[in-house]
Amino acid sequence: MTETTLTQDATVILERAHFQQLLDALLQSGYRVIGPTIEDRAIVYESLSSVEDLPIGWKDQQEGGTFRLEKRKDQALFGYTLGPQTWKKHLYPPNVTLWQAKRENGSFKITPPEEDRQPLAFIGVRACELSAIAIQDKIFLESEFKDPIYQQNREGLFIVAVNCVEAGGTCFCASMETGPKASTGFDLALTEVIDGEKHYFVVNIGSARGLDVIKAITVRTPEAGEVEAAEARIAEASQNMGRTLETEGLRDLLFRNIENPRWEAVADRCLTCGNCTLVCPTCFCATIEDVTDLTGQHAERTRRWDSCFTMDFSYIHGGSVRYSSRARYRQWMMHKLASWVDQFGTFGCVGCGRCITWCPVAIDITEEANIIRQGDVAKTKEA
């Protein structure tokens, strides 16, 4: 394909055999390339340099409380759905130093850490995860204040999205209207197709930077049926979601059911372990720690991810505001599906299903919401 014919709205084909070129182009442009790889029998998002680092030929089996990697029959590069980790780990790191301070002439001086960061490129971002990044952008970049650490990591981020052609057992992005196809917010979006001997990626270009990268690597014009084959696979995925969630009137439903007896039932099972918040790609709560060294001359402020499931989270003098596990589960779920809408104009849930898969007792947000809908106080009052 000649360069002159390429424009941003072109759809091109990247052969599996040339996939390494994509990684090389990004690495050569100075990006730290991060993508899926296998560690401890799960998919994690870590630095990549070779296509061999990808989870080639693996898929995941996900259900409430279970995650298992299995061999696929084919050699798909992106044949899994989602692991426990999320990209927020790289944009909003779990543990960071915000500043250091030193006593000086009877006062003290605060110095933020030095900014020296390589731009990031994410490979293999799912549609639901793109939505989650857009949600965290609203929190950290689009409100009154900006978070400098998030901003630094986010600015210049290159995103290679990968559309889902198989939905996971706990997925419900179709319900949340966030997937399975990436529609915006990427530089490049790939759909992987394996068809007999053929193994290729349909590439959509989402930005001028994306176009530049495509121009630097070997791609070709699609042949008849190739793009359609990709679309058909995405459509099939959207029909095969492991879970569904009715979102019609959901915010109001939950607000009026704040005293629904169901909260008690789920609290009986919930261990308040906070796994669900740690694996969630949108959860943003954090806590601050101030410490000094032994001399008392140096101090440091760190920030680490926190969870609304801990007792300390809502502690004020006299005790925790949400002392029962009922109130803490309710806080979490109502935040995701109700108050988030007031705060940021979207749900705080993108339907990735991680909280269902990684809950040790398989509590399922879709099931809980559906049960509350069945036992809606508005309905029972009418009856």
Partner 1 sequence: MLSQPFRIETVHRESYDTFTVELQPTNGHDSFLFAPGQYNMLYVFGVGEVPISISGDPDRPENLMHTTRAVGTVTKAMAELQKGDVIGIRGPYGTSWPVDRAEGYDVVFVAGGIGLAPLRPALYHVLAHRDRYGKVVLLYGTRSPDDILYRSELEQWRSRFDLEVHVTVDYADATWRGNVGVVTSLIPKAPFDPLHSMAMICGPEVMMRFTAIELLKRGIEHEHIYLTMERNMKCAIGFCGHCQFGQHFVCRDGPVFSYAHIGHMLSQWEV
Ligand X SMILES: Cc1cc2nc3c(=O)[nH]c(=O)nc-3n(C[C@H](O)[C@H](O)[C@H](O)COP(=O)(O)OP(=O)(O)OC[C@H]3O[C@@H](n4cnc5c(N)ncnc54)[C@H](O)[C@@H]3O)c2cc1C
- Number of other CB atoms surrounding residue 283 within 10 Å: 26
Site membership for ligand SF4, residue 265 (CB under 6 A): no
**Site pattern 282..311 for ligand X (x: CB under 6 A):** ------------------------------
For CA atoms 207, 209, 210, 216, the dihedral sign is positive
Site membership for ligand SF4, residue 22 (CB under 6 A): no
Site membership for partner 1, residue 296 (CB under 8 A): yes
Structure tokens at 61: 């089996």
Tell me if 89 sits within 8 A of 291, measured CB to CB: no
Tell me if 312 sits within 8 A of 320, measured CB to CB: yes
The CA distance from 40 to 165, in Å, is: 25
Pick the binder of ligand X from 52, 104, 248, 312 (CB under 6 A): 312
Site membership for partner 1, residue 345 (CB under 8 A): no
Q: What's the min distance (Å) between Cβ of 337 and ligand SF4?
A: 8
b (16+ CB within 10 A) / e for 285-322: ebeeeeeeeeeeeebebbbebbbbbbeebeeeeeeeeb
Size of the site for partner 1 (CB under 8 A): 47
Q: What's the min distance (Å) between Cβ of 184 and ligand X?
A: 38
- Number of other CB atoms surrounding residue 12 within 10 Å: 20
Pick the binder of ligand SF4 from 234, 308, 350, 369 (CB under 6 A): 350
H helices of the chain, in order, are: 19-28, 88-91, 127-140, 148-154, 173-176, 208-215, 226-239, 250-256, 262-269, 275-279, 325-334, 340-344, 354-357, 365-374, 377-382
Pick the binder of ligand SF4 from 241, 349, 369, 372 (CB under 6 A): 349
Q: Cα-Cα-Cα-Cα dihedral of 154, 160, 163, 165, to 10°?
A: -130
Q: Give the single-character DSSP code of 339.
A: I
Pick the binder of partner 1 from 2, 40, 71, 106 (CB under 8 A): 106
The CA distance from 86 to 352, in Å, is: 10
Can you tell me which residue has the tokens 């440091």? 300
Nearer to ligand SF4, 222 or 351 (CB): 351
* Subset of 364-383 contacting ligand SF4 (CB under 6 A): 365
Pick the binder of ligand X from 99, 108, 255, 315 (CB under 6 A): 315
Nearer to partner 1, 321 or 378 (CB): 321
Site membership for partner 1, residue 360 (CB under 8 A): no
For CA atoms 25, 125, 180, 56, the dihedral sign is positive
- Number of other CB atoms surrounding residue 143 within 10 Å: 11
Structure tokens at 286: 């954090």
Nearer to partner 1, 103 or 209 (CB): 103
Structure tokens at 30: 């100075």
Pick the binder of ligand SF4 from 167, 282, 364, 372 (CB under 6 A): 282
Site membership for ligand X, residue 342 (CB under 6 A): no
Nearer to ligand X, 183 or 272 (CB): 272
**Site pattern 350..379 for ligand X (x: CB under 6 A):** ------------------------------
Site membership for ligand X, residue 317 (CB under 6 A): yes
b (16+ CB within 10 A) / e for 77-113: bbbbbbbebbbbbbbbeeeeebeebeeeeeeeeeeee
CA atoms within 13 Å, Cβ hemisphere of 159: 26
Decide which of ligand SF4, ligand X, partner 1, none touches 284; Cβ closer than 5 to 8 Å per partner kind: partner 1
**Site pattern 109..128 for partner 1 (x: CB under 8 A):** xx-x----------------
Stretch that binds ligand SF4, among 22-30, 33-41, 254-262, 347-355 (CB under 6 A): 347-355
Nearer to partner 1, 183 or 346 (CB): 346
Torsions phi, psi of 140, nearest 5? -95, -15
What are the residues binding partner 1 (CB under 8 A)? 99, 101, 103, 106-110, 112, 139-140, 143-145, 147, 258-259, 284-288, 290-292, 296, 299, 306, 308, 313-317, 321-324, 326-327, 331, 335, 338-339, 341-343
What are the residues binding ligand SF4 (CB under 6 A)? 270-276, 279-282, 309, 336, 349-355, 359-361, 363, 365
What are the residues binding ligand X (CB under 6 A)? 312, 315, 317
